[in-house]
Amino acid sequence: MVPLVSRTGRLLQRYNEEDHRLVVGCIPYRYKNGKGFTPNDEDVDDLEVLVISSKKNQAMMFPKGGWELDESVEEAASRESLEEAGVLGHVECELGRWIFKSKTREIYHQCFMFPLLVTQQLDLWPEKTSRKREWMAVAKARDVCQQWWMKEALDILVDRLKSAASLTRENQDQLM
């Protein structure tokens, strides 16, 4: 059963040694064909990513939020994707870590970003009434996403997926 309420408060919030608030985010993704890149793919036309609107305005971004003391970084990534975007899936290997300044306070955050291969999209989720979600092509997502570090994370994800597809093609060629 999926909880219909998001976690709130900062009592369990993690901070690093520089007193940066630790946050975790995901880039939810899927393939339109349901299979991934085919051996002849040279671009990412079949790849879609899910972006969500901010609660405060209509700025688009990837799901992210605080990493709490009672969960692993992967659990936090999965929870944020569920709460903010209403998707479940497989959290994959970390894309990287970014430090950025809060837009509303004089504090810094350190964010851990992960790809999330989506396996289920829910009709009801905790923040459904306060956010919009939209599947879009990588190029459009890169245009609408305002945070530089989220764009970098998206570029890393695309490069990783292309590399994996390329390795698969090479392995298939060797078998023939």
What pLDDT digit, counting tens, does each position of 18-44 carry? 999 999 999 999 998 766 655 455 556
Instruction: Give this prediction's pTM.
Output: 0.86
In the chain, % helix, strand, coil (3-state, to 5) comes to 25, 30, 40
Contact 152, 99 (CB under 8 A): no
Express each pLDDT in 95-147 by its tens digit.
999 999 987 778 899 999 999 999 999 999 999 999 999 999 999 999 999 99
In which element (H, E) is residue 51 found?
strand 47-53
Q: Domains in the chain, ordered, with CATH?
A: 21-175 (3.90.79.10)
Express each pLDDT in 59-98 by its tens digit.
999 999 999 999 999 999 999 999 999 999 999 999 999 9
The DSSP secondary-structure symbol of 132 reads: -
**173 pLDDT higher than 70:** no
Residue type for 46, please?
Answer: D
Helix and strand element counts for the chain (H, E):
3, 8
Query: Residue 23 has which token pair?
Result: 């946050």
Residue type for 94, please?
Answer: E
Range 8-16 average pLDDT: 81
Contact 34, 91 (CB under 8 A): no
Residue type for 64, please?
Answer: K
